[in-house]
Amino acid sequence: MKNANCKVDKGYRIAEVDNRIYGSFIEHLGRAIYGGIYEPGHPEADELGFRKDVIDLVKELKVPIIRYPGGNFVSGYNWEDGIGPKNKRKRKLELAWRVVETNKVGINEFVEWSKRVNSEIMLAINLGTRGIDDARNLVEYCNHPGGTYYSDLRVRNGYREPHGIKTWCLGNEMDGDWQIGHKTAQEYGRLSCEAAKVMKLIDPTIELVVCGSSHRLMDTYPEWESTVLEHTYEWIDYISVHSYYGNPENDTPNYLAKSLDMDTFIKSVIATCDYVKAGKGSNKTINLSFDEWNVWYHSREQDKKITSWSVAPPLLEDVYNMEDALLVGSLLITLLKNADRVKIACLAQLVNVIAPIMTENAGSAWRQTIFYPYLHASVYGRGAALYSLTETPRYDTKDFSDVPVLDTVAIFNDNQNEITIFAVNKDIQENMLVNYKIKGFGEFRIIEHIVYQNDDVKTSNTKDYPFRVIPEIKKDSVIEDGILKALLPKLSWNVIRIAIEK
Ligand code: AHR
């Protein structure tokens, strides 16, 4: 048995967690839209063709905001192709993923669907093949009340009320040479500044996310951030951060240490933002939108076999196991520990494409392993993130040294008078006893200790075995002399919910 100590104090707040940190992402990619959220003719389809079984699973996750429509897709997308009568919509070659896009779902349908799942939309504009003109037209279409060409076009399409989209992305991963319309930092900095200007001239209440680097190992990182921010600082509110992780070497301890990479990435993007701020002598702080993060590696080989120009092929369909769920848990803890600067984050993606929710065409829908840490964080992680001063055993791996065996963070929900502790025990052999000294709250009691664990870290939930690994309630944790003594099984994700009595 390993031991660790953790101090949680009401007075030591990191920040109020912005609920949008529990956002997600749906791209026109693979079966995310077609066969995922939308499948007319499915026994569960509603009058617009949206699968009600999928809607129920998304609602269970309480996803506050969903990024749409891409991703790489957006850099070649003409949004006008997705509006108006469905039988007149064009089928087009979609070059980012080399498929055929039917355009049966567009912005209006996505707005309808987002209302059904109680989510806001974070809408990305195309700064690959398009630019300033398209940016202003789309904001006018979505957010202007009426009396102009594009706002009246929306009204004619059946939407008298504006869509009122508040958060917008200025393109996607424009630093990547795979991106349609890839740009240098100078080119993108100028273009995104001018696009941002017209968008805010139409609707000054919107918030804008400018593209940061596609990942930390890009040759242009962090020069890209610095140059782009030099151009756009006064017009934008957030800079994007993207990162995917995997375990191709099949080295579990090293894999579970990869949340350290996310933390380093976040800290260095913050440093770059603040460097530009200092140079400009600005009072404005740019925050982070970590709008693509997840595990992505299981499906990469299988995707190479998919032939081009089909409709909604099964692309990026990672089947997640228990160790993926543990890493996702640690990544969520990392985002929460940086809640003072990470205001938006999107688990990429939501349905079928590297997703917590899977569907079978004409068949069932089920929860992957990564569904559960995301669910717990989104449902129980609302409130203020507290500094959790932790003494934990540590280990070294191929890529990391001094890796904490215990990852943990506490969230205080003032409205419900509850504290939630999230914790991952990364030890592959031993359980861990953690003494949590909880200060400044008076008396408290354990509501429940949820544990997600399985002795086989390669176990998955599948269509045929959708409930093979589900969370359990454990009774092993106790409060003694005002100290929470939490027993965390080896290789486990834990949620300890505490009620404050006085
Ligand atoms: O989420 C899958 C892809 O990953 C997105 O389209 C792109 O932005 C990123 O490279």
Instruction: Determine if ligand 1 sits within 6 Å of the CB of residue 71.
Output: yes
Ligand 1 and 348: CB distance under 6 A? yes
Q: What is the pLDDT of residues 243-288, one digit of tens each?
A: 999 999 999 999 999 999 999 999 999 999 999 999 999 999 999 9
3-state helix, strand, coil in the chain (%, to 5): 30, 30, 45
Stretch 8-14: mean pLDDT: 96
Q: Is 427 exposed, middle or buried (0-12, 13-18, 19+ CB in 10 A)?
A: buried
Compute the average pLDDT of residues 435-464.
96
Q: Rounded mean pLDDT of 407-427? A: 97
| Residue matched to tokens 């596609």 | 214
- Residues 6+ away with beta carbon under 8 Å from 142: 107, 123, 154, 162, 163, 164, 165
List, for residues 324-344, the tens digit of each pLDDT value.
999 999 999 999 999 999 999
Percentage of the residues of the chain whose pLDDT score is greater than 70: 100
Q: Which is the CATH superfamily of the domain at 2-11+385-500? A: Golgi alpha-mannosidase II (2.60.40.1180)
- The single-letter DSSP state of residue 351 is B
Structure tokens at 92: 């087009």
Count CB neighbours of 148 within 10 A. 13
What's the rounded mean pLDDT across residues 142-154? 98
Does residue 213 line the site of ligand 1, with CB under 6 A? no
CA distance 46 to 52: 7
Report the nearest atom of ligand 1 relative to the CA of 70: 6
pLDDT at 306 exceeding the cut of 80: yes
Instruction: Give the containing element (helix H, strand E) for 275.
Output: helix 259-280
In which band, very low, low, confident or very high, does the pLDDT at 452 lie, cut at 50, 70 and 90? very high
User: In angstroms, rounded to a whole number, what is the distance separating the alpha carbons of residues 166 and 170?
Assistant: 13
Residue 502 has pLDDT above 80, yes or no: no
- For the chain, give every domain's residue range: 2-11+385-500, 18-380
- The predicted structure's pLDDT at residue 40: 97
β-sheet bridge partners, residue 167: 122, 207
Phi, psi (rounded to 5 degrees) for 379: -80, -40
Catalytic (active-site) positions: 173, 292
- What pLDDT is recorded for position 114? 98
How far away, in angstroms, is 26 Cα from ligand 1 center?
A: 10
Burial 104-117 (b: 16+ CB within 10 A, else e): bbbbbbbbbbbebb
Mapping DSSP onto H, E and C, the string for 114-169 reads HHHCCCEEEEECCCCCCCHHHHHHHHHHHHCCCCCHHHHHHHHCCCCCCCCCCEEE
Q: Which residues contact 245 (CB under 8 A, 6 or more apart)?
A: 255, 258, 261, 262, 294, 295, 296, 297, 327, 331
Using an 8 Å Cβ cutoff, are 14 and 334 in contact?
no
Give strand pairing partners of 295.
245
Band of the pLDDT at 313, cuts 50, 70, 90? very high
The confidence score (pLDDT) of residue 364 equals 98
Rounded to whole angstroms, the Cα distance separating 291 from 159 reads: 28
Cβ(212) – ligand 1 distance below 6 Å: no
Q: Which of 385, 290, 416, 335 is closest to 17 using CA atoms?
A: 385
Q: Which residue has the tokens 């494409």?
A: 353
CATH number listed for the domain at residues 18-380: 3.20.20.80
Per-residue pLDDT of 28-65, as tens digits, reads: 999 999 999 999 999 999 999 999 999 999 999 999 99
Determine the distance separating the centroid of ligand 1 and the alpha carbon of 102, expressed in angstroms: 20
**Kind and range of the H or E element at 334?**
helix 322-337
Average pLDDT over residues 410-420: 97
> So what's the pLDDT on residue 159?
98
| pLDDT for residue 490 is more than 80 | yes
- With the most atoms of ligand 1 within 8 angstroms of its CB, the residue from 31, 33, 72, 211 to mutate is 72
Using one digit for the tens of pLDDT, what is the confidence trace for 103-142? 999 999 999 999 999 999 999 999 999 999 999 999 999 9
Q: Is 173 in the pocket of ligand 1 (CB under 6 A)?
A: yes
For 178-221, write each residue's pLDDT tens digit: 999 999 999 999 999 999 999 999 999 999 999 999 999 999 99
Residue owning the nearest CA to atom 4 of ligand 1: 71
- C-beta of 30 in contact with ligand 1 (< 6 A): no
Give the integer Cα–Cα distance in Å for 83 and 456.
Answer: 48
Torsion of CA 57, 59, 60, 66, to 10 degrees: 90
Strands 384-391 and 2-16: antiparallel
Does pLDDT of 363 surpass 80? yes
Which atom, in ligand 1's list, is nearest to the CA of 178? Answer: 10
For residue 179 and ligand 1, the question of a CB distance below 6 A is answered with no
Whose CA is closest to 17, among 411, 498, 286? 411
Which residue reads 């290789």 in tokens? 491
Residue having the nearest C-alpha atom to atom 8 of ligand 1: 71
Mean of the per-residue pLDDT values of the chain: 97
pTM as predicted: 0.98
